[in-house]
Structure 1
Amino acid sequence: MINESALLESQTLRDGVLERTDVLDRVKALSLLPDGMHVTTAMVAAYFEVAVKTLESVVEDHRKELASNGYQVLTGTPLALFKRASGIQSRSKALALFSRRAVLNVAMLLRDSEVARQVRVYLLDMEYLARTQPVENPASTDTASLDDRIDQRITHILGKTVLPMFNALIETSGEHRKELIALRAGVQRIERRLHQHHTRLQRLEGVRDDRPTVGVMAAMGAMNGRTFEHHIAKLLRRDGCTNVTVQGGHGDRGIDVSGLTAGGRRLVVQCKRFAPYLNITSPDVQKFVGAAKVLHTAEVALFVATCPFTSEALSIAAETGITVVHRGLLEQWSAGEPLEVLE
């Protein structure tokens, strides 16, 4: 198995795993800007728990590589348009932005960050499992599982062989450079779609003992929607709630779990198991307010999500008495920290 330090030295190895941006959230939750796609230099530094100057030094040394993976510096009209679209309030005349892919790229370049080291180790663990997974007899294998393994093998070949080949040809070709770049983009789209399909199959299969996970959030990321609702019900019972019932499904009247708090107050819960790069928006919260307060006359209403909430959604929740359990708080709650509102 390749040592994680090899990623620090080899751009070819780094290029081969850059599609695995999901690893970032399996190691530690990555907060995004309101556009749901980018992070600033300060946010990346906070994620990796390093000084901003340390990160800026990495960018200076590897700017071309990072730029090819989504790093950019906005100025002038593009900056003004981005601020207007994302709601960012800043007087700076330039704004450096990292895509999730660029953040993963940074993880493979930062030497003095424990978080970056964990990302590299997890990346190589996943690659090792993909390479060493045994091939079973198709006659005795479920079709979905067989398709899943085929998808992983094709994705592995595309990432390790085809894309590096295109990269090398583009570097040395002048006459056909544009055509090669277009072909490479097509291959990358196929690779992303296969990875998305693989992720959907994992969710449909639910929690498996042989699926590698890191931390409680990774375990929840492997759950399907129904399993996640039962997990939240289990946490409620752990914290002293009674009459806890999972309601999710057709005819649930806008709630997923109901019960009574330890003090006997009427409790309802909305559960959203979204990808960590998505957001709960104000319409989501407004809809839950109506269900919780009007239809169910709840005294305690929890909106639990595996992703962040927009600032407007948080504001509406605060004004209407909805308790927001965002990704960070959910991780603490699942790890054993009780919710005070349930007392």
Structure 2
Amino acid sequence: MFDDSVLLESETLRTSMTGRTEVLDRVKTLTLLPDDLHMTTRMVAAYFGVDIKAVRSLVVDHRQELEANGYRVLSGAELSSFKELSSLDKHTGRHLALFTRRTVLNVAMLLRDSVVARQVRTYLLDAESGQRSEPSAPPVENSVFHNLEQWLDARVLHHVEQRLAEWGPPETRDEARLRVLAEEAVRSAVGRAVVPLLNELIRSDSELRRRLSGHQEEIARLNKVLWERDAESAGSLAALDELGPREFAQHIAWLCRRDGCTGVTVPPATSGREGRADVLGHTADGRRLVVQCERRAPNTSVTSADVQAFVGAARREHRADAALLVSTAPFTRDALLRAARHDVTAVHRGLLESWNNGARLRVLESVA
């Protein structure tokens, strides 16, 4: 699983996901024009909760990529016709920019300062990770190969009938000659159809492997860039202290992904404090991971009661195999003892600093 920022950096990855437009409605209801196909620039800005200038600036920087996914600007007679068909205000101006669903998804993968856009990217990457981890579907009958089988049968039969006619009446045919005839018929059919098909499959497989290798190299490079950038921007506890609760949870989720956890998500915030889980996922060896994030002032403490409340939520409601209580504040002695008794990893301020600077948490490592 990659940090959602990887989509901001890689046009190749964005292109591979532009068809996943169903993600948009999962994050927030998409309001379209009466033609049920397009959105205006103002509508796109409203969907992402940003100023319209941010969307226009994005179009300037990435116009070619957006146009490849359906972005266009209407003017003149084309605009007049579209206004009539879509019942738009005739005084909307001399130009009208239109975004399709694919274009809006493209914007979500490029827009940095939008909570909605970040959620869309997270959904995309979580879905992609889930698809990679799911077992392959059982093979089904392929019409291409079924047709090939029929062609081979007909070809062999035609060859046999033609040669039999050349060999004369049945009493002149011996078993040895019939065996040679059958071998010739099969060899001819295979040579004319199966061998070229296999050669094409081998060529296609080699091309796919080459492209996959290129994607993997690009992903590795981007992950390195993102790690160095994020490590620089959040390399101290002072930087973490400046984060809001949601951003703090997202950073902890990023640390979990960095250490090999999969399917890591940050659920939508809830009004209640008890029973909440700020980060969910699985460790590298498949154990259910539940994390609660407590962003507190360094001069406060996490108490035994805080730990007890988290224990109940993690075990009963979320069925955690690995439970982490992460805080920017220290834990009291009783809180540490209670966490140890209930197999909860207490990530206090000191341990958080080490983890943030590159150390790995033992609880996230594979269990032998």
Structure label with greater radius of gyration:
2
Return the TM-score normalized by structure 1.
Answer: 0.41
